[in-house]
Amino acid sequence: MNGLEVVSVGIVVADVVARPVRGTAEKGQLELVEEILLCSGGSAASTGYALARFGISSAVIGRVGQDGFGDFLVREAARHGAQSLLIRDPQAATSATQVLVDPQGERTFIHAIGANARLTPADVPLSELRARGAKLLHLAGFFALPGMDNPEGVPAAKLLAQASELGFFTALDNVWDASGRWERIRSVLPHSDFFFPSIHDARRITGKWEPEAVAKELFALGVRQVVALKMGPEGSFLSSRAGESYRLGAVQVPVMDGTGAGDAFIAGFLAGWLRGKGLLECGQLGNAAGAMCVRAVGAMPGITDWAELEATAQQVPVL
C-alpha cells in the first residue's frame, strides 16, 4: 500500500438519511419525505474520507459486519479515495443510524452501535502504520466506542499514549454521551494534542460555559496543543496552549443537512495543519469544510477538493 499521513480510527456507520421529516405522523400512520438515502457515516469515516478529498493520504480503521451495510461501507472507502483498513466482524452487525432531517437541516438520530462496540486498541497496528509514514492518529467517536471507553476511557488513553511514544501526533473527537458520564473522557485528554468537541459537549465535560473558559479548563485537564470548539451556525472558537485564540464566524450557505459537518471541520483543520498552516488559517479551513458539508444531504456529497476548500476559507470571518 501507499504511504500514509493520517489514520482515522473509530466509529464507522451506515447512515440512512430521510428528509425533510416534519414529525407530523402519529403512531401507525405514514409520513412522506422527499428522499431517503444510504450514505457512509460515522466520525472516523467522514473525517478520513474528507481528508482524502482534500489531498491528504488517509486510512480508516473501524469494524463493520459481514452484511449488506458492511459491504457498502467497504466500497465507500475506495470511492472517496481513502485506504480501507476496515475489519469485517462476523459476530456483530454493522453500526447504523437513522438520520431524520427536519426542514431547517437539524437532525435527530436513532443509532445502533453494532460492530463499533467491538473496536479495541488491538485493532490499531500502530508500529506498522508509523513505519508506513503515518504522522497523525485521530480517534473519532469517543462515548460510542465501548471497547475504547471501558473502564473510564483507559483503553483509549493507552492507545493515544502508545501512539505518542511512537512519534504520532494525536487528535480526539467525541459524540454525545447519552449516559451523562462525561468525566470518562478526562483520562484521554492528557494524551491528545488536538481536541475537537462541540461547544455543547465541552460545556458538559468542563462545567464551564463561555468558550474561553471552556478551552482554558480543557488545557487544565491536559489537552496538549489545540482546543477547537465546534459551534455550528455560530462558527468556532480556537485556542492554543501557547495563548493564541480566535473566534470565527460561519460561512453563509443554504443548509440542506448538518450530518457530518463537525467531522468535515476536523478534516479541514487537519488538512491545513498538515500543510503547515497556522492556527487561524486551520480554523478558517475547518469552518469552510463544515459549510461545504451542510449544503448537501449526507456527510460526503458536499465535500469536493482542496482548491474549493481554500477558496471557501477566504469567506470565513474573524470575529
Asked whether 184 and 152 are in contact (CB, 8 A), the reply is yes
The answer to the question of residue 301 being in a domain is yes
Asked whether 4 and 133 are in contact (CB, 8 A), the reply is yes
Question: Is the backbone peptide bond immediately before 151 cis, with ω within 30 degrees of 0?
Answer: yes
Q: For the chain, what is the domain count? A: 1
Tally the C-alpha atoms within 13 A of residue 215's C-alpha that lie toward its C-beta: 24
The answer to the question of residue 29 being in a domain is no
pTM of the predicted protein model = 0.94
The answer to the question of residue 267 being in a domain is yes
The answer to the question of residue 128 being in a domain is yes
Task: Name which of 113, 142, 198 is nearest 9 in CA terms.
Answer: 142
- Residue 299 reports pLDDT greater than 90: no
The answer to the question of residue 164 being in a domain is yes
The answer to the question of residue 178 being in a domain is yes
Which pLDDT tens digit goes with each residue over 34-44? 999 898 999 99
The answer to the question of residue 100 being in a domain is no
Which pLDDT tens digit goes with each residue over 185-204? 999 999 999 999 999 999 99
Residue range(s) defining the domain that contains residue 255: 6-11+41-94+116-313
The answer to the question of residue 110 being in a domain is no
CATH number at residue 218: 3.40.1190.20
Which pLDDT tens digit goes with each residue over 99-119? 898 888 787 888 899 999 999
pLDDT, average across residues 6-19: 94
